[in-house]
Amino acid sequence: MDRLTSPYFAQSTLIHGIPIVQLKDAEHDVEVSIAPSLGNRAFELNVHGKNILYFPFPDISALKGLPDLNGIPFLAPWGNRMAGGGFWANGKRFSFNEEIGVLRLDRNGLPIHGMLTASPLWSVTNVAADATSAHVTSRLEFWKHPELMANWPFAHAYEMTYRLEGGVLEVSTTITNRSSQPMPVAVGFHPYFVLPGVARDQAVAHIPARSHIETDAQLVATGEFSPVSFPDQISLKDHAFDDGFTDLLRDTNGRAVFSVECNGKKIEVAFGPRYTVAVIYAPPGQNFICFEPMSAITNGVNLAHEGRYRELQTVAPGGQWRESFWIGAGGF
């Protein structure tokens, strides 16, 4: 696309030795940078030159080889914790194989956030800009990798598109099930947000949810829920979070819109309808907040087998599951 006639621009480049895709919306002065070889992670979302993603490193090369989460990590084939040393699907139990070395473990030794948060296995299939957007699509063929299949034995593939349009970043994900049985869908994202120049405890959040997901001492969901009644604006000075929520309040487009704001600066994150769960992570002593779109509650795959969670989604053999979330910001 001629950059003289379109505000959108997309390019592949090399920064500090790491392949990067950059998307730009010149009209709204928004630019996003993605590292396909590091989990296909977006690590910069600059609005008027200010990064609204938490990325505490001098450059992207510092992330290579580190397990740290920041930017917008993809959590798959499951988000959050999976208890019991494995999972149930289609009436069968599958055990995890920790010795292979691809599982992430939390401080209690529970597998957490799947196996792809920093995966080098993504392949870029399209980088382009046109009159309406700049976009990049990447693909990860999970079924080709035995070390992954050993811990989640469903042949499937992911396709992810980052699309910058009208100053808003859309992140869309498609799962294609190539296996012969229905596959549970428990994926999610863990985006980290900061309001540049603002201390988090000065900000307020909006959490559009009716139900809190109850957990045990290891932060594993129990299958029980409790009602919540949040005010429209929740002070982050008075509240820290590591909590899951469901029964989300949605607008006429079916989107649940979360936000954090202070002094006219605001970040909004909208979840599409198939992201039925939100995890809010704003721990004490940190300056970020995470609005995490999830397709299932923590340990939802096992809880569904036990009859304690009825909302687990699946994708049929040969079928696809697709959903998006959107990030917008203003006041900078």
Write down the mean pLDDT value for the chain.
96
In 3D space, the residue among 31, 280, 276 whose CA is nearest the CA of residue 164 turns out to be 31
Asked whether residue 228 carries a pLDDT value surpassing 50, the answer given is yes
- 168 membership: H or E segment, kind and range: strand 168-177
List pLDDT tens digits, range 147-168: 999 999 999 999 999 999 999 9
Q: Whole-model pTM?
A: 0.96
Instruction: For residue 64, name the pLDDT band (cuts at 50, 70, 90).
Output: confident
In 3D space, the residue among 39, 14, 15, 33 whose CA is nearest the CA of residue 122 turns out to be 39
Give the pairing type, strands 8-15 and 289-294: unpaired
- DSSP 8-state class, residue 303: H
- Average pLDDT on 256-277 reads 98
**How far is 32 from 45, CA to CA, in rounded Å?**
4
Contact 177, 319 (CB under 8 A): yes
**How far is 277 from 257, CA to CA, in rounded Å?**
12
pLDDT at res. 66: 83
**How far is 71 from 56, CA to CA, in rounded Å?**
9
Provide the sign of the torsion angle of the four alpha carbons 70, 196, 193, 35, taken in this order.
Answer: negative
- Average pLDDT on 109-135 reads 97
**How far is 4 from 129, CA to CA, in rounded Å?**
12
**How far is 222 from 219, CA to CA, in rounded Å?**
9
- Average pLDDT on 70-78 reads 98
Give the CA-trace dihedral at 105, 110, 112, 114, to 10 degrees: 80
Class of domain 71-115+137-330: mainly beta
